[in-house]
Structure 1
């Protein structure tokens, strides 16, 4: 029996059986019951500079091959977002190239792609509201030209400049008026980016959500959906139940997605209270977690498509512990776990990240990811994963 060597926080090692690869199959028809996007990461050139502050050197072959793999499992791709290291190493030039290349791959594969629109190409720390609107519109129009769906990300510039909720309404009103295709609005919590405290005008999610809903209510035909990443399932359900008809909720809650996606179709899933009279009984998905487990997520949604909620829960339920480990505090370093699992699963040749971010997590933290990925059947090629992990341990002086 092949075993995995695990490393505890005190340096102690233990062994656990390496499970066989799951026999998940790619869907033969499009997924129906849920819309799901995997927020994809970028793979750097292993021998590139990629030190903090330097322009990102991207391995385009590996980066785009990963997206093709996601499409093959029936999922969509969410690109150039925080999983791709926006605001943490991915510079403006690399972002534009990523959006253009990713949109081209989506056309080739017949896949759905949405991409992040922000103000981060402007280097000044402080902008006026008019300058923020112009920056948003510049990226928005570029995205539309590429044929990708826009996700209006939370702007650090706006968080710094806005003095009131009305400032948020003004900026988003202008951006939505300038959009030629419906957009997804992204509400990113402070666990992911502490610089976004008080977004939408308040640190209280209830007050902030009123502003978000007002923005949507003014232009419901311009909003395709909302991605909430507050890691608070109750807040997501509360907003979801008040969205106008035709506006989807895309969960960005990497802690509680099993119940949120399952909704009323999976009554045994752990989930917050919801109004049974609401027409909205589940969330769709736009998750960084799904970049680590595309085959598992696909198999779970295929189970829902087949009317088998028990199978959905059996497949996806164990992945939530893995995701909680990947997204453990400090949560904004979750990208390290995403790249680590990509390497273990053979999607990239080296465990490297833009800006040297592969060093952001400890060996015991990574060991726990290995353990939970094994238990959740998220290791696509278990023998390869064991070989790479054990080699990493030996490189760091651990007998494996």
Structure 2
């Protein structure tokens, strides 16, 4: 039986929308899928809506639901990039809670043989306004490194708001990363998050242009290739990513076969992961993945990556193509609010019982934005239970005074 509900549109009208009749994408059953790309999903946290806190000022996590979501990602063959911006790191999720999340995630991963976890290491225990020197930044990174590595965690060295504030040029970035990389116990993933995701990171790497910033980052990587697994860049510019990955060292990395490019491009991920076949070193011909959108499209990402590994690139693109409009909508400016769409999708699909976020950020996107996300999720066959999703969408509409 067709499901129809009234959804708001950009012109302020309400128009009926009938969900498509095609079956949702099914999660692969049985054996964990095998991929020929490393694929991390930056995973969200589930807030505790019953905690007696001020949600704008304090953080309360529903640990059971949060870890259950990570177990789902591992079953789908995806790694978990833990305590990143998708988990509202530095945007509601503080460092003590982030460390507790990392510890719980690493503990849970032990029950999933082969599960990948990489952990965000930053400087967010510092107030950017209070930091005075590069030495303050180094000490903050070292504190988090020590805590994460003591738990057995592999590091993602996150871009630092504090460093962006106090650095006077590329040499300060070189100094900080040289110090950090020399100490790392395992090869790390570096993290270049563009200012569209976090305005406080404008001018990162100390360059006046993307090209100058890239030169600085590549110089750091080349000097420490054996200690760098790869770099994740989130600039939403596929040509910049391709240009940088072609310049990555063909030695070093986690497996000794080169430093990887981990795409963080939530607009162009399909073509970047598929690759262009450039060069003889495989790391120069494609990107691996560390993506926030993979949280919201996990079944599609898993099925597509399995098809790619089986040599069926056409099927890979067929599965992911309908997810790209959804991702571009979810990550539309102001891009830093994309997390609202991620949690909205988890709620629609029954992976959590509420649409409440750390920091109260469920309010950062409009009802019109969420209604369009609902339509695009349906078009991409990403509503696991269309009847449940429609029921929850009607609840949200009713809260906004809309009779669906």
Displacement of 1:394 in angstroms is: 1.7
Corresponding residue of 2:105:
102
Residues 218-248 of structure 1 deviation map (CA, whole Å, 9 limit, x = unaligned): 1111000100001111110011011112211
Asked if 1:41 corresponds to 2:71, the answer is no
Residues 123-181 of structure 1 deviation map (CA, whole Å, 9 limit, x = unaligned): 36223111211110111121112122210000011000100100000000000011111
Residues 278-322 of structure 1 deviation map (CA, whole Å, 9 limit, x = unaligned): 642110100000000111100000111111111111100110110
Asked if 1:250 corresponds to 2:262, the answer is yes
| Contact persistence 1:184–1:227 (CA under 8 A) | yes
Residues 177-229 of structure 1 deviation map (CA, whole Å, 9 limit, x = unaligned): 11111100000000001111110011411110000011011111100010000
Task: Output the CA distance in 2 between the equivalents of 1:29 and 1:52.
Answer: 37
**Cα distance 1:49–1:366, how it changes in 2: closer, same or farther (>3 A)?**
farther
Displacement of 1:325 in angstroms is: 0.6
The range that moved more, 363-372 or 379-388, is 379-388
Q: Secondary structure at the match of 1:310?
A: helix
Task: Output the CA distance in 1 between the equivalents of 2:188 and 2:375.
Answer: 38
Give the length in aligned residue pairs: 391
| Contact persistence 2:303–2:319 (CA under 8 A) | yes
Corresponding residue of 1:5:
6
Q: Secondary structure at the match of 1:108?
A: coil
Residues 231-281 of structure 1 deviation map (CA, whole Å, 9 limit, x = unaligned): 11111001101111221110000011011011137xxxxxxxxx4566421
Corresponding residue of 2:213:
208
Q: Secondary structure at the match of 1:348?
A: coil
| Contact persistence 1:152–1:186 (CA under 8 A) | yes
Task: Output the CA distance in 1 between the equivalents of 2:121 and 2:224.
Answer: 18
- Select the residue among 361, 373, 391 that pairs with 1:369: 373
Asked if 1:180 corresponds to 2:185, the answer is yes
**Cα distance 1:296–1:287, how it changes in 2: closer, same or farther (>3 A)?**
same
Task: Output the CA distance in 1 between the equivalents of 2:90 and 2:316.
Answer: 35
Q: RMSD value over aligned CA atoms?
A: 1.5
**Cα distance 1:51–1:328, how it changes in 2: closer, same or farther (>3 A)?**
farther
| Contact persistence 1:26–1:74 (CA under 8 A) | no
| Contact persistence 2:34–2:309 (CA under 8 A) | yes
**Cα distance 1:50–1:191, how it changes in 2: closer, same or farther (>3 A)?**
farther
Corresponding residue of 1:68:
71
| Contact persistence 2:33–2:302 (CA under 8 A) | no
